[in-house]
Chain A
């Protein structure tokens, strides 16, 4: 109860919880598309690629304003995402190699810029740590407002283009054949993802950002076959685990917020993989046992197959 009370009275805790909830909502809903399109790890690459943007924005403007840094981060993040797409489309280098390469070299460029800044402009090391591992405790309300504005815009755009993005995610060939500008929509979706990633960097950091996009969406996917429900569920799971993680890390000493949020999300994913109706691992094995127990009079049929199990559960 104390904790709940603190949630409303304690400024830091309230700010962190709000930020985590926002991030969960935006990351969960937009992450659903990334997961469905088999591009889950784009978040990892974009998050790493934000570093040169942040360092560059600071180098150019000399400001630490979160909005300026986020714009810089978004610029290089988007660049990396486009490079990955271009490489995978126009060469035979596989998508995941392109991801790993852009991730590492953009991040390397960021390191170069950052160390250059430190040695020539006297910037401190503190920024890098916060960037890598997140520093949720340092969030102030202004950060949350920026997150809300950017994330809210991304969500509104997602809702405006709901039908188009849905078609793009499930049947891009059909989308092209009915005359939708598939490449523009691809770019739009990537931009929305970049926004979701950039607003999360300060809270959970680079390394863990991919989990915020993937985990709620992967968990939500197990409970439904409908995109609308999946997106809403992922947003809900993201928000709930975000707040839970923030509360746990506030009540236990020396537990950083970002990793706690990720562990909460991981727990929900594991529970969903095991227990979700129809799809869950345990559910399926119970169902199998139940259907065997129900028909004892028939001789065991070698060719009998377990009914009610989707043939390819990764496809909606």
Chain B
């Protein structure tokens, strides 16, 4: 495999691994926990680094994952005092942990290679250089194996506890009443997020982890109402995100992680505008249709009322302005719309409802229709 393909593969696998827990983070309103955890694991990485003196040790991952869980526990214990809100608790805990990490590095790791930038920003372009070798044979980039394992772990967790996670996400009270222990599930999910973030940090960096955990699921959330579809869409969008981001980075000769994170935002922007049903355009169109339908019903009900005098085209603008406050343009538009839809017709030089129009009127004013 060429290095370019390997980079894209690592990115795609990471994207799917992040999208799986990410979907639940978005639904459970805990997206900012991904940001907090990716930053707060720094002291765990540093301490693990001091103990093992290598950045490649699995112990590092364990240390960092534990720090991630510590972050969650600290945030929860502060929040539970009832003295500050959850978001404030998050915003206090992770900078403190991050500060401890930065100070540890500045004081004790000044002359060893532990690059802060790399932790935060990652450099995907370097992923192919760090190979996994077993018995002297090259098995491919280490990051690919690590992220592949994490992906399998996440998928297995999701598959095993899908029902429980779903219930605990949408109805935590019922989940608790049925004995599904939402608290335990919460920590398990957070553990998943920690492990994913930690494994991904040296390949893609903290910022891209946040982008991949929140971006594709938030986009998918605008496109579907079903949890299983949302998770599948998130994974697919994550892969697309990785590939488009890589292509853009190669074209601009710029940061790969940065470009992928930008694409995550752009994809969301597209869905925000164009999503069927929930997109801005669709909602505007829906609103226009609703307005037109309402006007149609009003006019039909008015015309069908027994006391309404015949409405001639000449008298229509004045009468409808007095009656409904419609401008001449609006009157024209409504009349044209109704003729097109076949709810209005001309009879003896005046407007009258067709059968379809009469049924609309009866629907709008059920009491005024004749018995």
| Interface residue stretch chosen among A140-148, A166-174, A187-195, A209-217 | A209-217
A38: CB under 8 A from chain B? yes
B107: CB under 8 A from chain A? yes
Interface of B (DSSP majority class): helix
Q: A35-B88, A101-B264, A111-B257 are in contact. Are A281 and B35 (CB under 8 A)?
A: no
B264 engages A211 (CB within 8 Å): no
Among A85-125, those with CB < 8 Å from B are 87, 90-116, 119-120
- For the complex, give the distance between the alpha carbons of A217 and B85 in Å: 12
A116 engages B253 (CB within 8 Å): yes
**In the complex, what residues of B have CB within 8 A of residue A215's CB?**
91-92, 95
A93 engages B81 (CB within 8 Å): no
- For the complex, give the distance between the alpha carbons of A87 and B26 in Å: 14
B280 engages A103 (CB within 8 Å): no
Q: A105-B261, A108-B258, A211-B91 are in contact. Are A256 and B214 (CB under 8 A)?
A: no
- For the complex, give the distance between the alpha carbons of A146 and B14 in Å: 42
- For the complex, give the distance between the alpha carbons of A116 and B262 in Å: 14
A302: CB under 8 A from chain B? no
| Interface residue stretch chosen among B116-124, B140-148, B157-165 | B116-124
| Residue of B with least CB distance to A42 | B87
A107 engages B261 (CB within 8 Å): yes
**In the complex, what residues of B have CB within 8 A of residue A40's CB?**
85, 87-88, 90-91
**In the complex, what residues of A have CB within 8 A of residue B78's CB?**
273
- For the complex, give the distance between the alpha carbons of A192 and B121 in Å: 29
A97 engages B264 (CB within 8 Å): no
B82: CB under 8 A from chain A? yes
- For the complex, give the distance between the alpha carbons of A273 and B93 in Å: 13
B215: CB under 8 A from chain A? yes
- For the complex, give the distance between the alpha carbons of A115 and B258 in Å: 9
Q: A104-B261, A129-B117, A281-B81 are in contact. Are A254 and B91 (CB under 8 A)?
A: no
A221 engages B278 (CB within 8 Å): no
Q: How many of chain B's residues have a CB under 8 angstroms from any CB in A?
A: 65
B84: CB under 8 A from chain A? yes
Q: How many of chain A's residues have a CB under 8 angstroms from any CB in B?
A: 71
- For the complex, give the distance between the alpha carbons of A103 and B85 in Å: 21
| Interface residue stretch chosen among B98-106, B166-174, B322-330 | B98-106
A52 CB, nearest partner CB in chain B, Å = 9
**In the complex, what residues of B have CB within 8 A of residue A87's CB?**
272
Q: Which of B26, B90, B264, B265 contacts A93 (CB 8 A)?
A: B26
Best-buried of B91, B102, B280 by chain A (most CB within 10 Å): B91
A312: CB under 8 A from chain B? yes
B266 engages A119 (CB within 8 Å): no
- For the complex, give the distance between the alpha carbons of A266 and B217 in Å: 33
**In the complex, what residues of A have CB within 8 A of residue B252's CB?**
112, 116
- 5 more A-B residue pairs beyond the given contacts A41-B90, A104-B211, A108-B265, with a C-beta to C-beta distance below 8 A: A102-B265, A104-B215, A108-B208, A112-B259, A314-B82
Interface residues of B (CB under 8 A from A): 25-26, 29-32, 34-35, 39, 78, 81-85, 87-88, 90-92, 95-96, 98-100, 102-103, 106-107, 110, 116-117, 120-121, 207-208, 210-211, 213-215, 217-218, 221-222, 248-249, 252-255, 257-266, 268, 272, 278, 280
